[in-house]
Amino acid sequence: MPGLKPHEIEVRSMEIIDGLLPAGNWSPGERAVVKRLVHTTGDPSLAPFVKFSDGAVDAGVAALRGGCLVVTDTHMVRIGVNTNRVEALGGAVECLIADEAIAEESRRTGRTRAACAMRAFGARLDGSVVALGNAPTALREVLALAAEGVARPALVIGMPVGFVDAAESKAALTATDLTFIAVDGTRGGSPLAATTVNALLRVAEGAV
C-alpha cells in the first residue's frame, strides 16, 4: 500500500495475518508468536505446524523477564535476536559455535560443533531459553543433557531445518516433558528461531 509509513506497514501486515489465521486455536501469547512466524516467512500455511507445550509462552516470558541466558546454535540466530531487549531485561545472548575450543572438541570427537557447543554450555542451560534454528544435533544434545539431569532449560525453541533428523529430533522434543515451542516437520531455520525469541520479548514488554 503506497504512502504507508514503516510502522503502519507492520501494523497492517499483522492485521492481514490475523484475518488469515483461524480463531480460537491459541492463547493470546501463542497467537502473537504464530503471527510473527507467519510474518517472517510470508507463509500462513506454516501456522498449523507451530506447536506449543502447555504454558510455553508464559515460561519463556518469565525466563526473559528474569534476565535469563539465551543460547543459540548459530550466529545467524544470535544476530537475529534483539540483544538490546534481552540485555535490558538483565539477560544475555550467547553462541559458542565458532569458539576454537568447540572446533577442537569437534575434531577430536567427530561430533558436530553444534552438539559440542551445547555440551560445553552444560549446566548453564538450566533455566535458559535455548533457540535452535539449524542443527538437529544441537537439539539432540539438549535433550541428552536434560535426560542426564545436567540442565533443564526454561524453554526450548526447537526449529532445526532440513531433511536429516530435523523432523525426527523435533518429534523427540515434543515427546518429552520439556517446555517447548517447535515447528513440526522439515521446516524451520535460524530466522524462525530468532523471530520466536523476539516475539516472546515483545510479549514480555507488553508490546504485542
Q: What share of the chain has pLDDT > 70, as a percent?
A: 98
Residue 191 has pLDDT above 80, yes or no: yes
pLDDT at 29: 95
Q: Which residues form the domain of 115?
A: 51-203
Residue 131 resides in a domain: yes
Is 39 designated active site?
yes
Q: Give per-residue pLDDT as tens, 74-108.
A: 999 999 999 999 999 999 999 999 999 999 999 99
pLDDT at 3: 67
Q: How far apart are CA 46 and CA 127, in angstroms?
A: 28
Q: Give per-residue pLDDT as tens, 133-168.
A: 999 999 999 999 999 999 999 999 999 999 999 999
Residue 143 resides in a domain: yes
Residue 151 resides in a domain: yes
Residue 207 has pLDDT above 90, yes or no: no
How large is the average pLDDT for residues 178-204?
A: 97
Residues 14, 39, 58, 111: which is the catalytic one? 39
* Average model confidence (pLDDT) across the chain: 95
Residue 110 resides in a domain: yes
Query: Can you give the CATH number for the domain in which 65 is found?
Result: 3.40.50.10230
Residue 45 has pLDDT above 80, yes or no: yes
Listed residue (56, 9, 16) closest to 33, CA to CA: 56
Q: What share of the chain has pLDDT > 90, as a percent?
A: 88
How large is the average pLDDT for residues 184-204?
A: 97
Residues 6 or more apart from 33 whose CB is under 8 A from it? 50, 52, 57, 181, 196, 199, 200, 203
Q: How far apart are CA 108 and CA 7, in angstroms?
A: 50
Residue 19 resides in a domain: no
Residue 20 resides in a domain: no
In the chain, the number of structural domains is 1
Residue 18 resides in a domain: no
pLDDT at 102: 98
Residue 59 resides in a domain: yes
pLDDT at 5: 77
Q: How confident is the model at residue 208 (pLDDT cuts 50, 70, 90)?
A: low
Residue 129 DSSP label: E
Please give the grid coordinates belonging to residue 138: 544441537
